[in-house]
Amino acid sequence: MKARAADFWSGLALGGLGAYIIVQASRWEYLGADGPGPGFFPLWYGIVMAALSLFLMISSLKEKAGERIDWSGAGRAFATWAALAVCVALLKVAGFMLCFAALTFFIVAVMYRRPIKVAATVAAAAAAAFYIVFPLALGVRLP
């Protein structure tokens, strides 16, 4: 994807957010007897956001050439994020120690292709170290 296309789509998304802010803010009181209401400030930054987004979209369309954004490694980043999201989803059921060990194992074994033994050792050691430092030594509650 070229940078100007990325600018267009991100501008569109932010323009949508600006429009949402304007619509929401217009439902709240703008100026009351006591002064500005809850809709006053959001309405103005919503308008500015929508205007700047439009400007970004138009200027991206006017741009003739642009750099390419390298998305080749993005799959690995999204896979790591997905693993983190699964870990967060399972926190309530499995607890932090198990989820964190599984996430560590995934990163070491799958993302960095280290041997299974190394991954298992790193996962177990990291989880144990976290347990010693946070709940035991510092009294911090784990999720």
Partner 1 sequence: MDVLSGLMQGFAVALQPLNLLWCLVGVVLGTVVGIMPGLGPPATIAMLLPLTFLMNPASAMIMLAGIYYGAKYGGSTTSILLNIPGESASVATCFDGYQMARKGRAGAALGIAAIASFIAGTVGVLGLMLIAPPLARMALAFSSPEYFALMALGLAMVVLLAGRSMIKALLAMLVGLWLAGIGTDLFSQTSRFTFGQMELLSGVDFVVVAIGVFAIGEVLANMEGREAAKALPFPKGVRNLLPTMQDLKDSRFAFANGSIVGFLIGVLPGAGSTIASFISYGLEKAVSRRPEQFGQGVVEGVAAPEGANNAETGGALIPMLTLGIPGSSSTAVLLAALVLWGFKPGPLFIPENPALFWGLVASMYIGNLMLLVLNMPLVPLFAQVLRTPVYILYPIILGIAVIGVYSTSGSLFDVWLLAGFGLLGYLMRKLDYPSAPLILGLVLGGAMERALRQSLMMSDGSISILVSRPVSAVMLSLALLILLIPLFNKVNTWRLRALEK
**Amino acid residing at 109:** A
Check binding of 98 to partner 1 (CB under 8 A).
Answer: no
**Nearest CA to 104 among 4, 112, 1?**
112
- On whether the CB atoms of residues 103 and 130 are closer than 8 A, the answer is no
| Residues 6 or more apart whose Cβ sits within 8 Å of residue 78 | none
**Nearest CA to 80 among 110, 115, 114, 100?**
110
Binding mask 58-97 for partner 1 (x = CB under 8 A): -x---------x-xxxx-xx--xx--xx--x--xx---x-
Give me the least distance between CB of 116 and partner 1, in Å please: 13
Q: Would you state the structure tokens that stand for residue 67, as one six-digit string?
A: 């750099």
| Contact positions vs partner 1 (CB under 8 A) | 3, 6-7, 10, 14, 17-18, 21, 24, 28-29, 31-32, 34-38, 40-42, 45-46, 48-49, 52-53, 55-56, 59, 69, 71-74, 76-77, 80-81, 84-85, 88, 91-92, 96, 100, 103-104, 107-108, 111-114, 122-123, 126, 130, 134, 138, 140-143
